[in-house]
Structure 1
């Protein structure tokens, strides 16, 4: 037994050393990181020495002074008086953590990449492909092990976790985890002398392969759930979205149908966000309303689970999910495991974790008149809504930072199509692309194009259509458009203007009200292209801004942790309620956290209002002539 204990401890010590090797020289003896390492090494030595005595300071010193540069490290510890907010970020490819101080300045940052840092789980892009077509999953123990590693790395970067007063986070949406009864008990009794992943192992779950957002194997379950609640329009009215294969409700129903024993033995079901929060809490954490509204199970108006949707999904589901809570909730204090092992402050509050898109909206810090446009492989629009529209495509979610709603629109044909035209018309050069775009006037002499090379989501069409100034719906032959415009310049501008008209049309349909106070926040790869942003500004008839941070979802949860903690303190102190999230966080950020990069031309509205009418006619024609 003693030999096995020694072996286990040696493995722990070896793994700890491997993780921290690159950071030894960064740590000062007086820092929180140094204290943390002393504690961890003492825990290991107590087991490894096996003499029945506690490891002494001499034991530790003998190990730590092997690197003479240790005492002369260049990184100062964070002041004990400084309040720091921590955020754990769970994306598909990696797990990230950041420490922000009370001024929302970055103190420390760490990342664990699933593919390279955890090769034993054999992921590609952070996920595993199943045997069935379009089946994708993750082994939840990988996420647990990544949390062990990212906290170690955060400390090595100079993070003093004893200063952390609030922690929150975000995670990829829609994934579901299935806790066993023994897993729930393990969560409540974590041993600080052991790594998390040696305790929260496969036995903690009834389903060892967590279905994630990329999985689209639940078409049958989607049809069944929509039919059970009274049709697709009814599902949209209740939950804000039609049934999507990646959404959690259909995925839970698939588990219930295909693995009934696993479902029956499941004690609780978590989203990926509430799963991560559960580990910090030492108890199964509640699902927050914002992330919960991406499950096809939540009544977004009543802000509670829909009985009709739960019944359509699986039996006894309400008890397995637990009651949802507002995203602005403090759900408890941090578990003793993190206090004892990582030196977290015992008073550290855990603020409800949420989904990545929702956290990105919080990180962008956009007000009611702002619209966020992400120009990536696919283009995405996020906006605040006062009331949820019944739009069959797109998503309406509970807003993460106020009492309203968040509209989310996804357009599949984004940068991939822009790249195709860059190669075909601009010699595969973005500078040439921009020059061609800039060399043509707004309105493009009446030339407009819609290129849906992949099956588009909004609108639900596929194909290309080019109209010159003579084309219209009144004459069938003219409505068919032209095969090609006369110049690369016309092709490039027709593409970009057509894309942005599509974005504006659906933002309007979802309920966003454009006016003189409208502002656009552009993010994503193409937001670096000022020529494209000028078209955005002209089509939307609004100034365009960019943001310094490229990690909106990463900092978004840290901002929420800060705001929720301060709001709670104000309430407890009997003070006047804190100002809105937008006003409070914007007041803490540097003056130039967003930069105004483009303004619309004075004649933009006259030009693009007319083009928007022609755009609708083109879509109408394409819808009528789909194969």
Structure 2
């Protein structure tokens, strides 16, 4: 029983891999879905759609001449922050409100004011943003009292899928810490904040650790997925932490640059470090007494997807990359602010807007593409600068997500950060991290560190920064930051 399954419930798709104990991926599958936008600024998804998509990918990975009896464990990765509300029988009460939702602006202001008034920043280590579960839950309570009254428990997105596999309602510390109803320093629910917000404490389920076994595949789930009944299911973690595990970032001193739908700069620490201005987030990492500090961009891959689908009407990202490759660094003076759905780090501003600045008659569609790629890297550099100001070393940056699949975007990151960029040979880091977590949880690996040494391999090629490009980008980055400062008040109009 040395096969492991890692399931990554993302924002745009669910992915699953099946691997052996050496990390060889024997089978993988993916099922895409959309974000529902019932009103401008809202972002929702159906938990039932997540489950049906997960069943689809599990059936597909078992079609590849795999002996299911050799599957020893299943682990999870999932999009963070989202609010899933379930009733007494575990039924979904309403569509999940996910991380990119902007409806809870007034609730966010109130919660952050409370954190300051209660001098709780040293325990919370964060401020609240729109899309975080505690703010979304408060919005539901105040605007949909009927839905709030029907709710028995609140979960994170991946926890709902794990519930459908095991029948057990629970959460784990990494994702729970991203709800901001959590005492991150002490790895437990923040009961004082929950009480102050007049939320029902019984809504928050038991909280475990990522390597704990959550339950086993039930008879019903076995019928629906094709999995054998009784496979141990391990809690897993939020996608940022599973990305970290999948990249081998389980030691202090390494930094990851993830470009997915959103983007993150993240580092593991053995101290609960946090930015005093609360521009970054510090969440529980996969082991007790470890934390993950990260800066988040809401609109990384999302910006390129928006340009591809809504503006240029291109069919694939490969075409887009080829277009951008013909444009010199700096996009001939064109700069893009990637704030299509507001921004978190460093601005914490849900009203921020996207901007193309410097448009001239000679600019073409390929300039737009490169400017978007560069703008995303600039927005992540904002987070990297905060990390370094806290004393976090960033000598080695590991790239992951969709941005790691683009040779051009890797070079742009290296040049903008002025640091060497490393990549792993795995392209599904979150799913791999989930599978590794399952292996540690069932005892197949003695520790997560030894598992990563065994399973994860980096590419020999290191993407080094090009000096003249880094000098140019340093100048353009200052313009990028000034553009936000000068337009901040106009975003409110």
Distance 1:361 1:94 in 2: 19
Distance 2:373 2:61 in 1: 42
Distance 1:95 1:494 in 2: 29
- CA gap 1:313/1:157 in 2 versus in 1, 3 angstroms: farther
Residue pairs, 1:187-266, within 5 angstroms: 204-205=91-92, 207-230=93-116, 237-266=122-151
Partner of 1:282: 167
Does the CA-based 8 Å contact 1:543-1:596 persist in structure 2?
no
Larger RCO, structure (CA 8 Å, separation 6 or more): 2
Q: 1:390 aligns with which of 270, 276, 282?
A: 276
Partner of 1:506: 383
Residue pairs, 1:598-609, within 5 angstroms: 598-600=463-465
Instruction: Quote the offset at 1:418 in angstroms.
Output: 12
Give the SS at the match of 1:249: helix
Q: 2:328 aligns with which of 433, 437, 455?
A: 437
**Do structure 1's residue 129 and structure 2's residue 14 form an aligned pair?**
no
Q: 2:179 aligns with which of 283, 287, 295?
A: 295
Distance 1:360 1:269 in 2: 24
**Do structure 1's residue 321 and structure 2's residue 204 form an aligned pair?**
yes
Q: 1:459-502: CA deviations, max 9, x gaps?
A: 54768799xxxxxxxxxxxxxxx998999999999998786565
- CA gap 1:178/1:625 in 2 versus in 1, 3 angstroms: closer
Q: What stretches of structure 2 of length at least 5 have no aligned partner?
A: 313-318
- CA gap 1:219/1:618 in 2 versus in 1, 3 angstroms: closer
- CA gap 1:604/1:389 in 2 versus in 1, 3 angstroms: same
Partner of 1:558: 435
Residue pairs, 1:466-545, within 5 angstroms: 500=377, 503-511=380-388, 513=391, 518-528=395-405, 530=407, 532-545=409-422
Partner of 2:451: 584
Partner of 1:168: 75
- CA gap 1:104/1:218 in 2 versus in 1, 3 angstroms: same
- CA gap 1:452/1:369 in 2 versus in 1, 3 angstroms: same
Instruction: Quote the offset at 1:409 in angstroms.
Output: 2.2
Does the CA-based 8 Å contact 2:9-2:78 persist in structure 1?
yes
Does the CA-based 8 Å contact 2:298-2:339 persist in structure 1?
yes
Does the CA-based 8 Å contact 2:338-2:379 persist in structure 1?
no
Does the CA-based 8 Å contact 1:222-1:243 persist in structure 2?
yes
Partner of 1:374: 258
- CA gap 1:459/1:448 in 2 versus in 1, 3 angstroms: farther
- CA gap 1:214/1:526 in 2 versus in 1, 3 angstroms: closer
**Do structure 1's residue 363 and structure 2's residue 270 form an aligned pair?**
no
Does the CA-based 8 Å contact 1:242-1:393 persist in structure 2?
yes
Does the CA-based 8 Å contact 2:236-2:434 persist in structure 1?
yes
**Do structure 1's residue 344 and structure 2's residue 235 form an aligned pair?**
no
Does the CA-based 8 Å contact 1:128-1:138 persist in structure 2?
yes
Instruction: Quote the offset at 1:505 in angstroms.
Output: 4.5
Give the SS at the match of 1:173: coil
- CA gap 1:208/1:375 in 2 versus in 1, 3 angstroms: closer
- CA gap 1:617/1:238 in 2 versus in 1, 3 angstroms: farther
- CA gap 1:260/1:107 in 2 versus in 1, 3 angstroms: same
Q: 1:78-111: CA deviations, max 9, x gaps?
A: xxxx411122332234433322112222233344
Distance 2:425 2:419 in 1: 20
Q: 1:513-538: CA deviations, max 9, x gaps?
A: 565x8222223455455455345334
Give the superposed CA RMSD. 4.3
Distance 1:173 1:291 in 2: 6
Structure with higher helix content: 1
Does the CA-based 8 Å contact 1:383-1:407 persist in structure 2?
yes
Work out the number of aligned pairs and report it.
468
Partner of 2:157: 272
Instruction: Quote the offset at 1:249 in angstroms.
Output: 0.7
Distance 1:209 1:549 in 2: 33
- CA gap 1:158/1:242 in 2 versus in 1, 3 angstroms: same
- CA gap 1:111/1:316 in 2 versus in 1, 3 angstroms: same
Does the CA-based 8 Å contact 1:241-1:396 persist in structure 2?
yes
Does the CA-based 8 Å contact 2:100-2:130 persist in structure 1?
no
- CA gap 1:549/1:375 in 2 versus in 1, 3 angstroms: same
- CA gap 1:151/1:518 in 2 versus in 1, 3 angstroms: same
- CA gap 1:333/1:487 in 2 versus in 1, 3 angstroms: closer
Does the CA-based 8 Å contact 2:108-2:129 persist in structure 1?
yes
Q: 2:214 aligns with which of 323, 331, 335?
A: 331
Distance 2:239 2:245 in 1: 10
Bigger radius of gyration = 1
Instruction: Quote the offset at 1:372 in angstroms.
Output: 1.9
Instruction: Quote the offset at 1:288 in angstroms.
Output: 0.8
- CA gap 1:485/1:389 in 2 versus in 1, 3 angstroms: farther
Partner of 2:291: 405
Does the CA-based 8 Å contact 2:152-2:203 persist in structure 1?
yes
Q: 1:109 aligns with which of 13, 19, 28?
A: 28
Does the CA-based 8 Å contact 1:176-1:212 persist in structure 2?
yes
- CA gap 1:368/1:437 in 2 versus in 1, 3 angstroms: farther
